[in-house]
Structure 1
Amino acid sequence: MMLFLTLLSGLAWTLVYTDAIRVGFRDATYAIPIAALALNFAWEAIYAVHGLTEPFAAQTVVNIVWALADTVIVYTYVRFGRSEFSQFVSRAMFVGWGVLFFVASFVVQWLFVVEFDWELAPRYAAFLQNLLMSGLFIAMFVARRGLRGQSLLIAVAKWVGTLAPTILFGVIEGSPFILGIGLLCSVFDVVYIGLVLRATMGSLRLVAGANQR
C-alpha cells in the first residue's frame, strides 16, 4: 500500500507538471503560481540530490522526474511571466523578484532540514507548501478571470497527488499534523476543481452555441 500511494502521488504530480508545461506554452504564461513553483523546485532539488546519497527509494526517482519537469515550468515563468504584471514592473524588478523567490525558497527548505532532519522535514515542508499552493491556485484563477494557463487535469491531479500522501502519512502512519493539513488542502483543491469545472463547462457551451449558428 505504501509503494502504491507513493507511486500514485508521483504519477499524479507528474501529470500536473506535464500539463502545466503544455498549457503554459499554449497560453504563453506560467501555469503554477510563482511562490509555489519556487518552493516546489527547491524541495525537489534538495531531496533529489539527498536521495542519490541514500539507498535506492522510489521517491528519489519521483523527485528527480519532478525536478526536471519543474525546470521547464520555471522556464515558462522566465519567458512569459513578466506579461502577467503591470508595466510598472520593469525587467530588472521582475528578474530580481524571481531570484529572491527562488533563493528564499531554498533557504526555507534548508531550514526545515535543520529543524526537523531529513525524515520529517520533507513531509512537513511538502504539506505546508501544498496548502499554500492550493490557495494560490484559487487566487490565480480569480486574478486571470478564467482558465488561461490552467486545466481540469491540473486541478484534479493536484488533488489526487496530495490526497495519496495524506492517506499514507496522515492515516496509515497516524500523523495528526499531516492529516489536518492534508484535509485542508483537499478542501481548497475541491473548491478549485469546482471553479475550473464550471469555467470549462461554460467554455464548452459557448463553443457548442457558436457551432450551432
Structure 2
Amino acid sequence: MDPFLTALSGLAWTVVYVEAIRIGFRQKTYAMPMAALGLNFAWESIYAVDSLSAGVSLQGVVNLVWALADIAIVYTFFAFGRAEFPRFVTRTMFAAWGVLLFAASYAVQFLFMAEFGENSARYSAFLQNLLMSGLFIAMLVARRGLRGQSPTIAVAKWLGTLAPTILIGVLDDAPFILGLGILCCVFDLVYIGLVLWAKRDPGALQAEAGPGR
C-alpha cells in the first residue's frame, strides 16, 4: 500500500506540474500561486537532495522530478508574472520581490528542519499544502476566471494530497497530519467545484459586485 500511495501522489502532482507548465506557456502566465510556488520549489529541491543523499528511494526520485518540473513553472513566473500586477510594479520591483519570496521560502524550510528534525518534511509539506489549497481559491477569485488554471490541475492536486493523507495520517496514525489533510481535502473539493462552475459559466466571475452586495 505504501509504494502505491507514494506513486499515486507522485503521479498526481507531476500531472499538476506538467499541466501548469503547459498552461503557463500557452496563456503566458504562471499557473501556481506565487507563495505556494516558492515553498514548493524550496521543499522539493531541499528534500530531493536530502532523500537521495541517503540512497535512491521512490520518494527521493519523486521529489527530484517535482523539483525539475518546478524550474519550468518558476521560469513562467518570472517571464510572465509581471503582467498580473498593477502598472506601478516595475519589472525590477517584481524581480526583486520574486527573489525575496524564494529566499524566504528556503529560510522557512530550513527553519522547519532545525525545529522538527526528521518530521520536518511531513509537517511543512502539509502546512504549505493547506496554504496552497486556499491560495488556489484566492487566485481564481482574483483573476475572475480560469486563466492559468484548469480542472486537470484541480483534480490532480486533490488526489496528490489525498494519497499522502491516507498514507501518513491514517496508516501511520498521525492525527496532526490527518487533520491538515482533511482540511486540504475540503478546500480542494471547494476549488474543484469553483473551477467546474467557472468553466460551465465563464461570465459568472466577471460580474461586478453591486451596492450593498
How far did residue 116 of structure 1 move? 1.1
AA partner of residue 176 (structure 2):
F
The answer to whether structure 1 residue 147 and structure 2 residue 146 are counterparts is yes
- Counterparts of 1:29 and 1:58, CA distance in 2: 32
After superposition, the C-alpha distances for 1:14-35 in whole angstroms (9 at most, x for unaligned) are 0000000011111110000000
Q: Any unmatched runs of 5+ in structure 1? A: 204-213
Counterpart in 2 of 1:30?
A: 30
How far did residue 110 of structure 1 move? 0.5
After superposition, the C-alpha distances for 1:73-105 in whole angstroms (9 at most, x for unaligned) are 000000000000000111121011101100000
Once the two structures are aligned, what percentage of the paired residues are identical? Answer: 68
Q: Any unmatched runs of 5+ in structure 2? A: 203-213
Matches within 5 A, 1:77-116: 77-116=77-116
Counterpart in 2 of 1:165?
A: 164
AA partner of residue 184 (structure 1):
L
RMSD (Å), alpha carbons = 0.7
Matches within 5 A, 1:35-46: 35-46=35-46
How far did residue 201 of structure 1 move? 2.1
How far did residue 122 of structure 1 move? 0.6
Q: How many residues align?
A: 202
- Counterparts of 2:116 and 2:57, CA distance in 1: 20
How far did residue 56 of structure 1 move? 2.1
Counterpart in 2 of 1:71?
A: 71
Counterpart in 1 of 2:11?
A: 11
AA partner of residue 129 (structure 1):
Q
SS at match of 1:128: helix
Structure-2-length-normalised TM-score: 0.93
SS at match of 2:201: helix
- Counterparts of 2:64 and 2:27, CA distance in 1: 26
- Identify, as 1 or 2, the structure richer in helix: 1
AA partner of residue 76 (structure 1):
T
AA partner of residue 25 (structure 1):
F
The answer to whether structure 1 residue 58 and structure 2 residue 58 are counterparts is yes
How far did residue 55 of structure 1 move? 2.4
CA contact (8 A) 2:52 2:61 kept: no
- Counterparts of 1:24 and 1:143, CA distance in 2: 17
How far did residue 128 of structure 1 move? 0.3
- Counterparts of 1:6 and 1:51, CA distance in 2: 14
How far did residue 202 of structure 1 move? 2.6
List structure 1 segments (4+ residues) > 2 angstroms apart after TM superposition: none
After superposition, the C-alpha distances for 1:25-82 in whole angstroms (9 at most, x for unaligned) are 1111000000000000000010111112112210000001000000000000000000
Counterpart in 2 of 1:129?
A: 128
AA partner of residue 192 (structure 1):
Y
